[in-house]
Amino acid sequence: MRHWVFGFGLATLLIANAYADGYLWLSAAGSAPASVYRYNLRTGRVDRVVHPGAWGFVQSGDYNLLAYDGDALYIGMENDRTLLKVNPYTGAFRSAFGYNMCNCFYGHHLMKDGAFYEGELWRAAPARAEGSPGILFVSSASGEPTNAFYAMNQPDLQPIGLEAVGDALVLTTEQGIYRVQLTEEPLVFEALPYTLSGVPAGHTLGGLAYDAERGVLYLASAHNGSTTLWRLTLNHEAQTAIAEPVDSLTLKGYPTGRRPTAMGFVPARAGDANDDGCVDDADLLQVLFQFGSSDLASDLNRDGVVDDADLLLVLFQFGNGC
C-alpha cells in the first residue's frame, strides 16, 4: 500500500539530515563490473568509490549486502557466494571468504541487501523466475548457512532492501515496505505491508540502512536514472512509513542510471575530520588549515564554523581508531 506525494523540489532536500553524521555505503546495480559508493552525511557528498571487481574475484553487476558488524563492512554479490570484508571507513580490502553452499543457488535466486540481526547475517534473496517465492537467507558471520525462510504465502513478494530496526526486521520490495513476521510454520516468513507516504509514484525502492544511535532509518530509491535518499519514520502499530527527502544522490556524485539495491550505515568516529576512521595528525592539520572557515568536513561539531571546539575534539580523540 502506498500513498503518493508529488512535486517535491530540491529546496526541500537536506531537511532530514541537519544533524546527521556517519556514512551510507550504497550499491549501484547495473552492468558489470559495478562499484560501491560512500555518501558522507556530514558533508552531503559521495566522497569514496570502491571497485570490488578490480580485486580479482567474480565480476558482478551488483556488489551489495553492505552490512556493518562494528568492525568491518561486508560486501556480497548478487550472482556469487563470495563475501568480502573491507575497512568500513575507506572501503580498503581486508579479506575474502564465501557462503558454504553450492553456487547453484544463484541459478534461481539473486542476493541483495543484508543486515546483522540477532547475531546472524540475513540477506534478501529475490527469485529470478516469476511465481517463485522470495527468500530470507540466514548465515553466521563466517558464511555458514543456518536457516532460510520462504515467502510461501506471498509468492509475489520479492525482497530487495533489508534492515534490522531495533527488534524488528524491515524489508522493501521494488514497490513497498514491510515488517517481517516469522511464523510457526517452519521455513516460512510473512510480511506485513506498511502504507508508505512521501515517495512519489514511479520510484523503485531499494536498500535500507539504520543509524541505531540516532534512531534514523534511511531508504534509497531510483526513478528515471536518478537516485534519492529518504529518511523513514515507522509506526508499527499503525503500519505506516512516512518518508522525508534527505538528498538527491545523483547530484552529489552517485552515478546516473544505477539502482541502490543495498545500503549500509557506518557511524562516524568523533574527531575524524578526513573520514578515514583514524584520528591522527592528518585530522589535526585539516582542522588547523580550515580554522575560521565553514568547511563542512572540518566543522566537527556542526556549529557552522571551524574553531577551537573542533580542534579540541580532535585532540581529545587523538589516536582513536588508529
In 175-302, the DSSP E strands lie at 177-182, 189-197, 204-211, 216-223, 226-235, 240-248, 263-266
Asked if 179 and 168 count as a contact pair (C-beta separation under 8 A), the reply is yes
**Amino acid identity, residue 189?**
F
Q: With a cut of 60, say whether residue 17 has pLDDT above it.
A: no
Up-side HSE of residue 88: CA atoms within 13 Å toward CB? 22
Q: Across the chain, which distance is largest between two alpha carbons, in Å?
A: 62
Q: With a cut of 90, say whether residue 293 has pLDDT above it.
A: yes
pLDDT digits (tens, 9 = 90+) for 240-289: 999 999 999 999 999 999 999 999 999 999 999 999 999 999 999 999 99
DSSP code per residue over 69-128: -SS-EEEEESSS-EEEEE-TTT--EEEEEE-SS-GGGGGTB----EEEETTEEEEEE-BS
Cβ contacts of 195 within 8 Å, gap of 6 or more: 1, 2, 3, 239, 240, 241
Scanning the structure block, which residue is given the C-alpha cell 548457512?
A: 145
Q: What pLDDT was estimated at residue 184? A: 86
Q: Which CATH superfamily is domain 271-322 in?
A: Dockerin domain (1.10.1330.10)
Q: Where are the domains of the chain?
A: 2-266, 271-322
CATH topology (fold) of 2-266: Neuraminidase (2.120.10)
**Paired residues of 114 in beta bridges:** 123
pLDDT digits (tens, 9 = 90+) for 69-93: 999 999 999 999 999 999 999 999 9
Asked if 138 and 89 count as a contact pair (C-beta separation under 8 A), the reply is no
Q: With a cut of 70, say whether residue 13 has pLDDT above it.
A: no
Q: With a cut of 60, say whether residue 1 has pLDDT above it.
A: no
Asked if 49 and 34 count as a contact pair (C-beta separation under 8 A), the reply is no
Q: What pLDDT was estimated at residue 155? A: 83
Q: Is 143 exposed, middle or buried (0-12, 13-18, 19+ CB in 10 A)?
A: middle
> Three cell numbers at 152?
510461501
pTM, two decimals, is 0.93
> Three cell numbers at 40?
558522507
